[in-house]
Amino acid sequence: MIEGKLNFFVVLAGLAVAAGVFAALFFISAPYGRHLRRGWGPLIANQSSWIIMESPAALVFAVCFALGSVPRNLPILVFFALWELHYIHRAFIYPFTIRDGHKKMPIAVMLMGFAFNLGNAYANGRFLFTFSGGYPQRWLMDARFWVGVILFLTGTILNRWADLTLRSLRQPGETGYRIPYGGLFRWISCPNYLGEIVEWCGWALATWSLPGLAFAVWTIANLAPRARSHHAWYHANFADYPGERKALIPGLW
pTM: 0.95
Query: How far, rounded to the nearest angstrom, does the alpha carbon of residue 80 sit from its chain's CA centroid?
Result: 16
State the pLDDT at residue 101. Answer: 58
The SS3 call for residue 188 is strand
How distant, in Å, are the alpha carbons of 14, 121, 134, 251 from that of 214?
7, 12, 19, 27
Degrees to nearest 5, angle at CA 29 with 201 and 227: 40
- Cα distance between residue 108 and residue 53, in whole Å: 11
What's the CA gap between 49 and 152, in Å, rounded?
A: 25
Cα 193 from Cα 229, distance rounded (Å): 12
Which amino acid does the sequence have at 106? Answer: P
Q: What is the pLDDT along the chain (253 residues), one digit of tens a residue?
A: 688 888 888 898 889 889 999 999 999 999 999 999 999 999 999 999 999 999 999 999 999 999 999 999 999 999 999 999 999 999 999 999 987 657 899 999 999 999 999 999 999 999 999 999 999 999 999 999 999 999 999 999 999 999 999 999 988 777 789 999 999 999 999 999 999 999 999 999 999 999 999 999 999 999 999 999 999 999 999 999 999 999 999 999 9
Contact partners, residue 39, CB within 8 Å, separation at least 6: 31
Total residue count of the chain as it appears in this document: 253
Q: What pLDDT, on a 0 to 100 scale, did the predictor assign at position 231?
A: 98
Q: Alpha carbon of 20 to those of 25, 27, 52, 218, 243: distances in Å?
A: 9, 11, 25, 10, 30
The reported pLDDT for the residue numbered 103 is 84
Calpha distance 22→221 (Å, rounded)? 4
Q: Given phi > 0 = left and psi -120 to 50 = alpha, else beta, which region is 98?
A: beta
Q: Do residues 135 and 206 touch, judged by C-beta distance below 8 A?
A: no
SS3 state at 17:
helix
